[in-house]
Chain A
Amino acid sequence: MDEKERESSGLAMGRRGFLRAGAAAGALVTGAGAARAEGPDPLITEVQPWATGFGDGVDATPYGLPIKYEADVVRRNVGWLTADVISSINFTPIHALEGTITPQGCAFERHHSGAIEMRKEDYRLMIHGLVDRPLVFTYEDLERFPRVNQTYFLECAANSGMEWAGAQLNGVQFTQGMIHNMEYTGVTLRTLLEEAGVQTAGKWVYVEGADASSNGRSIPIEKALDDCLIAFKANGEALRKEHGYPVRLCVPGWEGNMWVKWLRRIEVMEGPVESREETSKYTDTLEDGTSRKWTWVMDAKSVITSPSPQMPIKHGNGPLVITGLAWSGRGAITKVDVSLDGGKNWKEARLANPGQPMALTRFYLDINWQGEEMLLQARATDDTGYVQPTKDQLRAIRGENSVYHNNAIQTWWVKSNGEAENVEVS
């Protein structure tokens, strides 16, 4: 690989590149250890270019991207999953992220007819049906309603769906990465529905997007009046195009499909539409051939993000940070247990912050690893007392054809060389 290729592949990284080469040669040594063994560290004893010359000026980057050395922290797609990239999915690099807020630029996408481009000036939102005042709003109108800020996870109903029949994809980005967690700013759906005046016969709202797929879904009026948001900002800035710019719906705790992007229409109705996205799709087939519909809530779930197949242990024995994410559509995470031995024994992990309702929660377990093989698992508990089940527990009830709502405990087999693999255990 020449320098240009290294540059473009994000591997030209000086000290990091050296360490990568060291790891490739099988040397499980730390950078600090290597420096100790070889005498004074030239990174310290020799004046480095950044310590004598200039860095970039403040006019170099009006809106910045991550440094090139973080080129691995990107969305990835899996070609064989879908017929076409237009109606498809990609995956958040949760293996490499920390905390709970997902950077918008690498937060996963799921479109049914592509990520459309719409100007705020062209945006219209209609509320009609069983309301006293059918209304049309412009984007500017929406910004004049009282605002709220809430942080929620959005998990695709199909997250982990490829894993129902066994261990398939080797990386937490692929097995649990159809998720993101953002701080949304917007107007409550209740505010807009009250502006239109919901009639007593109105029991459901049908919501659809401005894109060709429309992604229409039916939502019971109780949820619509409870905590749904019409969001126009995420993580402080406008929604990204691919996340519904300029306006999307947030349906806290409920499957991502219902978070209609490019939201254009809210129809208050007597009954559900039973649209394509709640009949053909987002229905969960059980072993006997019947299927659940309206499986809206995303149950409590967690996963260890590191170590994981994309995050092998490269630092050798000693202190090891085990970390991951937990979440529940039923409420707040209250506890995460971690097992090092495939579920025989569990230790309570430390929550980085108290669990917030229907939002990602970061957990840690700090251990002293001595190179032993581990079967790592995490198990979330939420404030309703729901404990994340094993895949076998789920399959005993549902069979293997549910497609959606796989919130099973994930196992990583960490080998003595620090590599990790997606496995199932008895």
Chain B
Amino acid sequence: VPAFAEPFGLGRAALPEEIAAWNLDVSPDGTGLPPGSGSVADGEELFSDRCAVCHGEFAEGVDNWPKLAGGMDTLNRKDPLKTVGSYWPYLSTVWDYAHRSMPFGNAQTLSADETYAIVAYIIYSNDLVDDDFVLSNENFLEVEMPNADGFIVDDRETVEYPEFSKPACMENCKESVEITAHATVLDVTPNDPNDDAPAAEAPA
């Protein structure tokens, strides 16, 4: 935008304390991890107090709440179980997310050491470390995440776009058409309480 090449002089300098207060993200190479440590044993206790009501004592999940452990080798099956152990590529994400956004409803209440301990317990629950393991900023990158190599960068441009940018058929595109699935068989759509029609059907 050439007309505005000069700064407007709006805003003010961000102070180091302010940046430190908000800049909590942790990258896969460990950048952003504060010094600290926590053991599986401490994590078990913390997890029981702070996390288990939703995520279960063994991180296996309660009701519809997210399961944090289990599901190994299910990703290529119907209904894969995606957990920290079976799916997440980086431990940094576990630390970052737990530290910043958990517990649900009471976020940003975990100290660095508490977060290390809870993360240690979560990876223990996924059989990735032994019960005497102590996680710290020093050994953080040594933990191997099973699905670290399970991701590819969006390849739709090469895999899908050529296929989906061919001229579209307009006439006699197929021999026959059969209905192969009905939503009403499942009957899971919330209904208007006053009638049997689908939810929020327009009044006549």
| Interface residues in chain A, defined as those with a beta carbon under 8 Å from any beta carbon in chain B | 1, 9-11, 13, 16-17, 19-20, 22-24, 69, 72-74, 76-80, 82-84, 86-87, 93, 95-96, 112-113, 126-129, 133-138, 141, 144-146, 166-171, 173-174, 188, 190-191, 194-195, 197, 206, 208, 212-214, 216, 264-265, 267, 269, 271-276, 279-280, 283, 285, 287-297, 299, 309-312, 314, 337, 341-346, 375, 379, 381, 384-389, 393, 397, 400-401, 413, 421-426
Excluding A170-B184, A387-B165, A423-B180, 5 further A-B contacts by CB distance (< 8 Å) are: A174-B199, A212-B108, A299-B164, A384-B165, A387-B164
A126 touches B19 (CB 8 A): yes
Cross-chain pairs A/B with CB under 8 angstroms, 17 sampled: A72-B203, A83-B66, A84-B65, A112-B101, A135-B12, A169-B188, A191-B4, A213-B101, A274-B90, A275-B97, A280-B88, A295-B156, A299-B164, A309-B201, A344-B174, A344-B177, A345-B171
**A20: which B residues are within 8 A, CB to CB?**
203-204
B25 touches A267 (CB 8 A): yes
Q: Check A82–B19 contact: CB distance below 8 A.
A: no
Nearest CB of chain B from residue A343's CB, rounded to whole Å = 6
* A310, B198: Cβ atoms closer than 8 Å: yes
A424 and B181 in contact, given A289-B80, A292-B151, A386-B161 (Cβ under 8 angstroms): yes
Known: A296-B154, A337-B170. A167 touches B18 (CB 8 A): no
Q: How far is the CA of A289 from the CA of B150 in the complex (A)?
A: 7
B87 interface residue (CB < 8 Å to A): yes
Chain B interfacial positions (CB closer than 8 Å to A): 1, 4-5, 7-8, 10-14, 18-19, 22-23, 25-29, 54, 63-66, 75-76, 78-80, 82, 84, 87-90, 92-93, 96-97, 100-101, 104-105, 107-108, 150-156, 159-161, 163-166, 168-174, 176-184, 186, 188-190, 192-195, 197-204
A341 with B177, Cβ < 8 A, contacts A135-B14, A274-B90, A291-B152 known? yes
CB-contact partner of A309 in B11, B22, B192, B198, under 8 A: B198
Question: Are A386 and B165 in touch, CB under 8 angstroms?
Answer: yes
Residues of A within 8 A of B169 (CB): 346
Contacts A16-B204, A82-B64, A214-B100: A275 and B156 contacting too (C-beta < 8 A)?
no
From B84, B101, B176, name the one whose CB has the most chain A CB atoms within 10 angstroms: B101
Q: Which of B104, B186, B202 contacts A113 (CB under 8 A)?
A: B104
A83 and B177 form a contact (CB under 8 A): no
Contact B11 A194, beta carbon cutoff 8 Å: no
Chain B residues in 8 Å Cβ range of A197: 7
Task: Please report the C-alpha to C-alpha distance between residue A73 and residue B193 in the assembled complex, in whole angstroms.
Answer: 15
Q: Taking the nearest CB of chain A, how far is it from the CB of B39, in angstroms? A: 24
Q: State in angstroms the CA–CA spacing of A115 and B93 once bound together.
A: 24
With contacts A76-B200, A169-B188, A216-B25 known, is A425 near B179, CB below 8 A?
Answer: yes
Give bound CA distance, A194 to B11, whole Å: 12
Residues of B within 8 A of A96 (CB): 200, 202
B151 close to A135 (CB less than 8 A): no
Contacts of A23 in B (CB 8 A): 204
Partner of B8 from A17, A129, A195, A421 at Cβ < 8 Å: A195
Residues of A within 8 A of B173 (CB): 343-346
Across the interface, which residues of B come within 8 angstroms of A11, CB to CB? 194, 203
A381 to chain B: closest residue by CB: B168
Residues of B within 8 A of A214 (CB): 100-101
Contact at B89–A279, with CB atoms within 8 Å?
A: yes
Please name all residues of chain B whose beta carbon is closer than 8 Å to the beta carbon of A345 when the two chains form the complex.
170-173
Which residue of chain A has the shortest Cβ distance to B159 in the bound complex? A397
**Using Cβ atoms and an 8 Å threshold, which residues of chain A touch B174?**
343-344, 426
Q: B183–A167 contact, CB under 8 A? A: yes
Pairwise interchain contact B189-A166, C-beta atoms closer than 8 A:
no
Taking each of B88, B96, B184, B201, which has the highest tally of chain A beta carbons within 10 Å of its own beta carbon? B201
Cβ–Cβ contact A76 & B199, under 8 A: yes
Q: A76-B190, A170-B184, A341-B177 are in contact. Are A134 and B107 (CB under 8 A)?
A: no
Contact across chains for B203 and A379 when beta carbons are under 8 A apart? no
Contacts A174-B189, A386-B165 given; indicate if A74 touches B200 (C-beta within 8 A): yes
Beta-carbon nearest neighbor of A419 in chain B: B197
